[in-house]
Structure 1
């Protein structure tokens, strides 16, 4: 029995694995949220394998115990239920020799299954694309980008790939809506690239980024093209990254809602320029980043730049000043830590790790060690590759100086 790539089984399994718990340990954890006694780990086995699906009465417990929004629990269960109906319909058709596919099988073309036979069904029976289809696709793209700021990359892979399959099936029959679907496909492919990069798959990430660039051009959307170029920069050498980011900024000139993207790109360019000793370029790019951020509205600008908060901007400044041995470093560290949300979020971990790396380079080892240990604790629950990279660099500095916190940090990172 196969399980839905976008369903409750994969969601619960990935969420559990992200914490490092076994099914028995997860059941014990859920017992703490249950008012009436022990939680049976066999329930988790049934739900993760989708031999049974959780009933609505379990949704609040799963939401609390896994720290997953209840709406995402509900959506995942429905995806599993739909996938089960569709696979049963396909199996029945195969057994009876019925070559006519009914309404359930037609739904297969909407990306409910990311299996080869599902894609073949999508090609044979294309869906009808209308305004409602476009709105639904855009809503799911938005939802996945939002989840990308909360959950580890491993939890996003299956739903992102499933949504990308769906959008791919729509493109050839989109008609007048082709540009709108291409825009959603570009954003989703970029997110697939991000998840691959976070999981260490640089080559796979570049493949997604390349196709995302094509889709952004097809959609005629320069700001999204700039975003994809920025994502690509993470896996390039610093000098090449600075140059591609400078080019990307040409796509964020003029028009409403572009200030956050422009600030993000300029801050990234500043960091890479500083790391290669281009002092004047780095300081000019950082000044440009702060100037554009004064006009920015992250919550209402482009979807893919909502993550770029004031705390993240200050964290980039910390890196720039650290590389340049600039006297403004201490002030930037203070600003970054104050601007972080302080909710044990991925942003908190990244800001603290960045500040830890900078202060370690400056020789403030005790302060760096405390920040690094705090960031590492969060990163265990919500892993992020950039955060881990900063913490690994801090560990190398602490180890080289035989600092007492080197071993505790190493244990937390292992």
Structure 2
């Protein structure tokens, strides 16, 4: 049995999402490692018959397009899962062991917090043992929830969705016995459900996404934590029509007032500006951008785990998106600033920023840099496929002028990528 968040599932999912065979993946690893690599090792790692040693971290990072820290975390999860599985095997064959001790050792709150409830026997354990949640377990679960928002920036949506589902089942099983930690776990569950909705949207399952968002908002209301409602509205706005999205984003900002939410307010206000510009509300878009920039100046890194993606480059790109729709004179300087702030960021945020920069240049009449950055955008969107990336590729292909060979060639590249 593979660890739900282990190296085997990670490597197989990325390879399959890219449409590569094990032999093709082995050649990529060989190129990154600068030497021969047997494709059988890909199979051994995917099935976790063997685990990659640290010497392979750099090659796996390059060949799979993920940070080395993600590789190390996944290998560590697989090692922990092996130990837990071995402990369970020994214990279940020891008939003289006291039943209560057996339940505590194998299915206790610490094990469930590690993610065992992602499997059928883990879910049963959670149901029958009803472990009491102590402060340490609650803190571990909250920390794991926060970690998913950082992981989302790099991990394929299908793999992220599996991990989130398992984590949400863990929280669901523990909340009834959480006692004084109930609200803490409800907040974690609400944040997890919101992110699960975003992953579902990324996979094109809008109905599933909508249900997750509704559940997240319900958890936020029950816990008296309005920020979760704001988070759910922010994610859900991407699937709404522009007027409804603008209104939802304006409402969301009412749920993130007070200290600790400046970055969240900035994100939601910038998104409101983008949607307002889309329906021709120039005054509303400018006011929303003013609020976004002011709030961003007051924000500090790490205020909320779910705003870790919202850095200066992303604020720039949302401003660009609004400016392009408004034909604003600051398009080019804002595009230049976004590129400078983006740097070497290799996360999914890169896709959105590069699209908005390329489109901004095109709208401003700067075709050459628009096409140049457009190539970088298409490469990023192809390496890390997302629903938003595909939508933006379609929009960008339609916006490319047909009177230059370079623009026509890029449009053809995009169309080929969309049907691949």
Establish whether TM, by shorter chain, passes 0.5.
yes
Asked if the contact 1:350/1:387 (under 8 Å) is kept, the reply is yes
1:3-152 matches, within 5 Å, as: 3-34=2-33, 38-50=36-48, 52-54=49-51, 56=53, 60=57, 63-64=60-61, 65-66=63-64, 67=66, 68-69=68-69, 70-82=71-83, 84-85=85-86, 88=89, 102-103=103-104, 105-107=106-108, 109-110=112-113, 111-152=115-156
CA RMSD of aligned residues (A): 2.8
Asked if the contact 1:5/1:113 (under 8 Å) is kept, the reply is no
Asked if the contact 1:164/1:188 (under 8 Å) is kept, the reply is yes
Asked if the contact 1:341/1:348 (under 8 Å) is kept, the reply is no
Name the residue aligned to 2:239.
235
The reply to whether residue 407 of structure 1 matches residue 385 of structure 2 is no
Name the residue aligned to 2:223.
219
Between stretches 84-93 and 159-168, larger displacement belongs to: 84-93
Between stretches 137-146 and 365-374, larger displacement belongs to: 365-374
Provide the rounded CA distance (Å) in 2 between the counterparts of 1:55 and 1:13: 14
1:8-407 matches, within 5 Å, as: 8-34=7-33, 38-50=36-48, 52-54=49-51, 56=53, 60=57, 63-64=60-61, 65-66=63-64, 67=66, 68-69=68-69, 70-82=71-83, 84-85=85-86, 88=89, 102-103=103-104, 105-107=106-108, 109-110=112-113, 111-254=115-258, 256-297=259-300, 299-398=301-400, 403-405=407-409, 406-407=411-412
How far did 1:249 drift? 0.7
Asked if the contact 1:245/1:269 (under 8 Å) is kept, the reply is yes
Provide the rounded CA distance (Å) in 2 between the counterparts of 1:86 and 1:116: 17
Deviations 1:298-331 (A, max 9, x none): x221111111111111111111111112222222
Asked if the contact 2:362/2:370 (under 8 Å) is kept, the reply is yes
Give 5+ residue unaligned stretches, structure 1. Answer: none
Between stretches 158-167 and 239-248, larger displacement belongs to: 158-167
Provide the rounded CA distance (Å) in 1 between the counterparts of 2:229 and 2:80: 31
How far did 1:88 drift? 4.5
Mark the CA change 1:401 to 1:90 in structure 2 (over 3 Å): closer, same or farther.
farther
Between stretches 365-374 and 63-72, larger displacement belongs to: 63-72
Mark the CA change 1:218 to 1:397 in structure 2 (over 3 Å): closer, same or farther.
same
Provide the rounded CA distance (Å) in 1 between the counterparts of 2:337 and 2:255: 29
When the two structures are superposed, what TM-score results if normalisation uses the length of structure 1? 0.89
Asked if the contact 2:117/2:126 (under 8 Å) is kept, the reply is no
Mark the CA change 1:99 to 1:59 in structure 2 (over 3 Å): closer, same or farther.
farther
Mark the CA change 1:322 to 1:253 in structure 2 (over 3 Å): closer, same or farther.
same
How far did 1:172 drift? 0.9
Between stretches 26-35 and 235-244, larger displacement belongs to: 26-35
How far did 1:277 drift? 1.2
Mark the CA change 1:84 to 1:45 in structure 2 (over 3 Å): closer, same or farther.
farther
Provide the rounded CA distance (Å) in 2 between the counterparts of 1:342 and 1:55: 27
Q: What is the DSSP-based 3-state SS (H/G/I as helix, E as strand, rest coil) of the residue aligned with 1:404?
A: helix
Deviations 1:123-170 (A, max 9, x none): 111223101101111221122111111222123122221111111111
When the two structures are superposed, what TM-score results if normalisation uses the length of structure 2? 0.87
Provide the rounded CA distance (Å) in 1 between the counterparts of 2:134 and 2:359: 50
Mark the CA change 1:286 to 1:263 in structure 2 (over 3 Å): closer, same or farther.
same
Asked if the contact 1:4/1:113 (under 8 Å) is kept, the reply is no
Mark the CA change 1:88 to 1:207 in structure 2 (over 3 Å): closer, same or farther.
farther
Asked if the contact 2:84/2:106 (under 8 Å) is kept, the reply is no
Asked if the contact 2:157/2:199 (under 8 Å) is kept, the reply is yes
Mark the CA change 1:327 to 1:177 in structure 2 (over 3 Å): closer, same or farther.
same
Provide the rounded CA distance (Å) in 1 between the counterparts of 2:388 and 2:288: 21
Asked if the contact 2:313/2:338 (under 8 Å) is kept, the reply is yes
Q: What is the DSSP-based 3-state SS (H/G/I as helix, E as strand, rest coil) of the residue aligned with 1:180?
A: helix
